[in-house]
């Protein structure tokens, strides 16, 4: 029976491994019989949501029996004003993942080529594979997207290019001039997906004017989210900015009521809380400086992250170290694969969380064998 069911599935499911998200704190505590675990695995804001968002959530609970605004009118209006776009340039999603899926479903066909960096966010390659596309992987250069090489990898069969800026899992970002040169170099019939989930953490001088390409009507979608610096990962709301004709196509396959009412209220309130964003950036930069100093003392290196996480080369089996940290209540993200088998990704937390991670890491790596 199992074999017969598999035969009914899309052939593009063959060889596709499910994405395994980081475990919640309570699940780790239950499985291991421990208490007081900390999670530094999923690049969440350790300060939590904006107080304004929490108040909006509480106020909205009494209307939970009503369907949400299917068009996200008020959130789109607020985003449009802030971004100097029109609401027709915007689409809302159940996190950016849903918008990535919509892009793949709308535009990718079997036989198309998709260009991505390697390593990059794993979902890009999964979506291309599921649509029957050929994935062209371009190695990073100095741990950063090599946009010049990615532009050269574009062929007449290329339909889409994914750019994570900053890139997950390295935390690196491209220079704004490099992105402009890349967009000028690729043909007008190649869709650029620019994933800016962590852009609010990036220093001002490193933030590209990616919305310029949207305003020019280029086939591009820029993705941002309320899951990271806004601290709303649990309610799932992301947004995409694209030329109106592209948005109209995406709206044809978007599920009705895909962004729930609580998420819309929380996002709208969080968008106006500049104090929370400023504090989140400050805590992140201070934590990053502390972690880099302590990691360097241990002889460990990281790419130059401009996001809220670090990619750490442990110089030994990253999965084994992550497992050992997990057993003592510190949850980090092992990466694996040929390129990153000695690496873990660690979210920058609060000062006590960062200190606990360093102390736990010292204890683990000093007790583990060090050869690669």
Alpha-helix runs per DSSP H in the chain: 2-8, 25-32, 51-60, 73-83, 95-107, 122-130, 147-153, 176-185, 211-215, 244-253, 261-271, 274-297, 318-327, 337-340, 351-367
Q: Per-residue confidence of the chain (372 residues) as pLDDT tens digits? A: 556 888 888 888 887 878 777 778 888 888 888 889 999 999 999 999 999 999 999 999 999 999 999 999 999 999 999 999 999 999 999 999 999 999 999 999 999 999 999 999 999 999 999 999 999 999 999 999 999 999 999 999 999 999 999 999 999 999 999 999 999 999 999 999 999 999 999 999 999 999 999 999 999 999 999 999 999 999 999 999 999 999 999 999 999 999 999 999 999 999 999 999 999 999 999 999 999 999 999 999 999 999 999 999 999 999 999 999 999 999 999 998 888 999 999 999 999 999 999 999 999 998 755 444
In words, the CATH class of domain 22-48+275-367 is alpha beta
Same fold, 22-48+275-367 and 51-271: no
Q: Residue 221, exposed/middle/buried by CB under 10 A (0-12, 13-18, 19+)?
A: buried
Give yes or no for a contact between 192 and 213, defined as CB atoms under 8 angstroms apart.
yes
**Half-sphere exposure at residue 176, Cβ-oriented, CA atoms within 13 angstroms:** 13
| Residues 172 and 166 sit within 8 Å (Cβ to Cβ) | yes
Q: Whole-model pTM above 0.75?
A: yes
Give 260's contacts (C-beta < 8 A, 6+ positions apart): 68, 235, 236
CA pair distance 339, 332, nearest whole angstrom: 18
Q: Which CATH number fits domain 51-271: 1.10.730.10, 3.40.640.10, 3.30.70.2190, 3.40.50.720?
A: 3.40.640.10
What are phi and psi for residue 272, nearest 5 degrees? -95, 5
129 pairs with which residues across the strands? none
- The residue ranges of every structural domain in the chain are 22-48+275-367, 51-271
Beta-sheet strand order (sheet of 341-347):
309-313, 341-347, 333-336
């Amino acid at each position: 029976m199992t074999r017969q069911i598999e035969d009914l599935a899309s052939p593009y499911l063959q060889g596709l491994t499910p994405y395994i998200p980081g475990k919640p704190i309570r699940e780790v505590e239950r499985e291991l019989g421990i208490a007081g675990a900390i999670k530094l695995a999923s690049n969440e804001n350790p300060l939590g949501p904006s107080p304004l968002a929490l108040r909006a959530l509480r106020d909205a609970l009494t209307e939970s029996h009503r369907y949400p605004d299917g068009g996200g009118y008020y959130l789109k209006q607020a985003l449009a004003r802030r971004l100097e776009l029109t609401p027709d340039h915007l689409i809302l999603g159940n996190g950016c993942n849903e918008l990535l899926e919509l892009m793949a479903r709308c535009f990718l066909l079997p036989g198309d080529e998709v260009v991505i960096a390697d390593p990059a966010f794993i979902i890009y390659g999964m979506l291309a594979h599921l649509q029957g596309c050929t994935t062209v992987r371009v190695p990073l250069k100095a741990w950063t997207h090599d946009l010049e090489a990615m532009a050269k990898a574009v062929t007449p069969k290329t339909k889409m290019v994914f750019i994570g800026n900053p890139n997950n899992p390295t935390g690196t970002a491209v220079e704004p001039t490099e992105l402009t040169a890349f967009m000028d170099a690729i043909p007008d019939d190649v869709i650029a997906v620019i994933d800016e989930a962590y852009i609010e953490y990036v220093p001002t001088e490193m933030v590209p004017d990616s919305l310029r390409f949207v305003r020019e009507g280029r086939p591009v979608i820029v993705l941002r989210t309320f899951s990271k610096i806004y601290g709303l990962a649990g309610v799932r709301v992301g947004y995409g900015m694209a030329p109106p004709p592209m948005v109209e196509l995406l709206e044809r396959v978007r599920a009705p009521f895909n962004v729930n009412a609580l998420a819309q209220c929380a996002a709208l309130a969080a968008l106006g809380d500049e104090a929370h964003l400023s504090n989140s950036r400050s805590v992140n930069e201070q934590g990053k400086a502390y972690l880099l100093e302590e990691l360097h003392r241990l002889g460990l290196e990281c790419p130059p992250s401009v996001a809220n996480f670090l990619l750490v080369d442990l110089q030994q089996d990253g999965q084994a170290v992550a497992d050992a940290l997990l057993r003592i209540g510190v949850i980090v993200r092992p990466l694996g694969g040929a390129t990153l088998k000695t690496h873990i990704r660690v979210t920058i937390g609060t000062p006590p969380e960062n200190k606990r991670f360093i102390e736990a890491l010292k204890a683990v790596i000093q007790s583990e064998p060090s050869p690669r």
